[in-house]
A and B are shown apart, each in its own frame.
Chain A
Amino acid sequence: MECQDIRKNLYAYLEGMASPEDQELIDQHLASCRACSTALYELNRTGEVLKNLKDVEPPPWMTKKIMARVRQEAKSERGFIRKLFYPLHIKIPLEAFATVLIAVIAVYVFKTMEPEMKDLQVPSPKEPVIARQEAPYPGKAPAAETQVLREKAVAQKSPASTDGKDLAAGKKEAEERAQVNEEGGVGKLKEATPPAREIKTIPAPAPPSTAPKKDASVPIPAEASRIGEFRTAERAPSPPAAAGVAPTQKDKMALAEGAARERKGLQKAQPMAPSLRMAAKSKPELMSFLVRVKDVRLAGGEVESLLQQLGASRIERVSRASDEIITAEVKAEKMKELSDKLMRVGEVEEKDSRLDSIEKDATLRIEIVPGR
């Protein structure tokens, strides 16, 4: 082993980390090489000098100073958190003011929303009464029924109303109607009953002349089906039938539709009212079809699915013993396609002449009757 190699391993030799073989070789070399022995001595002395270096002592203030700095650090952290969450005196009135402000805003929002909420609420029972009063009655309606209605109206109104004039006016009008029905006078009824479309536009707060009738019509379960009838009549696009004239097929359908809806329960019918009202407000075109088919039920299903395919909305299907009535809102561009497809389902007997010229969405009333 050369001196250079020996000197590279001298440190490991000193530390006792050299392998036994290396250690033996180094021992042999050191015995014969003075320069390497000197190098080992110097290396050892260097280590001793380093180990003999006197340790410096930390100053007495160091511990205190370190602790003070650590405390200051912790305090600054706490201070930041405290600033965020500690309720300073200035914040208490701020919080109180904020609470009051939130309350005021809540009341204001509620007041603002109130009219809209009223609009969306269950339709007042006055509407059916208006309809009852002004919707076309079949001429064959027995006078006894009118008498019952009149009695009900009086009976219901009397506890609710304290206005003697209203009561008198209500009685008078009811008697007039009964008289008209008994006489079967077409002209008089036409005067007394405006068209159904006009009824729809009657605002909720009715003029004083109709007030008694409205008041007299607090809904009771016994009248549920009747209310439905008149609601249907209200929506029906057909012109008002003259008193004393036999009810048309459409009138029958309308009455049946209303009755069916009412059978589902007032709870279900009432939430629908706003949407109906909204529909009335937007005044979509009302179009009707009469389709004669072999199997009414099957055809009803087909038409319903057809409407769904065409993206119709508000699809309502009323099944009865012998026929079905489906109402829906259809987009104008789909109207032609619907008409064509209806012809495949059955024989379209009555088709609205406006179909070809329609430009906006329309409410369809498809009546499916047996016959082909």
Chain B
Amino acid sequence: MEKYQKKMLNVAYRLIGDYDEACEVVQDAFLSAYRSLKKFRGEARFSTWLYSIVLNLCKNRMKQLRTRGAREVYSIDARVETEEGSRGMDPPDPGPSIPEQMEKREVDARVQGCISGLDSEYREVLVLRDIQGFSYEEIHDILKIPDGTVKSRLFRARDALKECLKRVLGGL
């Protein structure tokens, strides 16, 4: 269980953006897996099956959170309010990268904010591929979508995130 627990938690955390909610989702996922263990037919890898449960639970939890209005929405196109004031799209800064100058925790929080601002379908492929490093085949098994769709979603997700990060971090 501990083998999958951390990765499941990180997937859930990056998708939901809330640590406590992610912990709840992971617990629910294990319980759901225990209940559905008889239904597991071995068609996919056990880990893939577990992550697909996590992903589905995350989607449900995000819907609940959305209805509560508890989630802070980060819009890709919205102007970001920083300490220096409103900031639009900045050109790349040739000097030392801004993230390096910031506190690691602060960078993580802002990156997480950008991830959470992505649409759900882009967010999940981005989290699975670029953060957790799943292969395309695994992503195909977890999300049940074709490889081509995964790739196109990834490009658009990273492109959108890039623009968001440039705004929230002041450059890359």
Contact = CB atoms under 8 A, between A and B. Distances in A.
A39 to B, nearest CB: 8
A93 to B, nearest CB: 37
B10 A56 contact: yes
Interface stretch (A63-71, A190-198, A310-318, A352-360): A63-71
Contact of A53 (B19, B26, B131, B172): B131
23 contacts: A8-B155, A11-B154, A11-B155, A11-B159, A41-B92, A41-B172, A43-B158, A43-B162, A45-B162, A50-B161, A51-B131, A53-B111, A56-B9, A58-B9, A58-B26, A62-B5, A63-B5, A66-B1, A66-B27, A69-B31, A70-B30, A70-B34, A73-B35
B97 A47 contact: no
Given A38-B92, A51-B131, A56-B9, A46 B158 contact: yes
B166 A42 contact: yes
A59 interface: yes
A365 B169 CA distance: 117
Contact of A73 (B19, B22, B31): B31
B39 interface: no
A42 B92 contact: yes
A55 interface: yes
A41 B162 CA distance: 10
A344 interface: no
Contact of A62 (B26, B35, B112, B155): B26
B151 interface: yes
Contacts of A53: 14, 108, 111-112, 131
Contact of A63 (B2, B10, B107, B126): B2
A174 B26 CA distance: 105
Q: How large, as a class, is the contact surface on chain B? A: 35 or more
B23 interface: yes
Interface in A1-58: 8, 11-12, 17, 38, 41-43, 45-47, 49-51, 53-58
Contacts of A12: 151, 155
Q: How large, as a class, is the contact surface on chain A? A: 20 to 34
Nearest to B97: A45
Interface in B74-97: 92, 97
B13 interface: yes
B30 A50 contact: no
A70 B31 contact: yes
Q: By DSSP majority rule, is chain A's interface helix, strand, loop, or mixed?
A: helix
Contacts of B126: 50
B158 to A, nearest CB: 6
Q: By DSSP majority rule, is chain B's interface helix, strand, loop, or mixed?
A: helix
A59 B12 CA distance: 14
Contacts of B6: 55, 57-58
A51 B14 CA distance: 12
A8 B155 CA distance: 8
Interface string A105-121: 00000000000000000
A63 B108 CA distance: 26
A140 B131 CA distance: 123
Contacts of A55: 6, 10
B130 A65 contact: no
Nearest to A66: B30
Interface string B7-47: 00110011000010011001100110011000000000000
Interface in A178-218: none
B100 to A, nearest CB: 10
A54 B108 contact: yes
B165 interface: yes
A150 B107 CA distance: 128
Interface string B103-121: 0100110011000000000
B92 A56 contact: no
A64 to B, nearest CB: 11
B78 to A, nearest CB: 18
A50 B19 contact: no
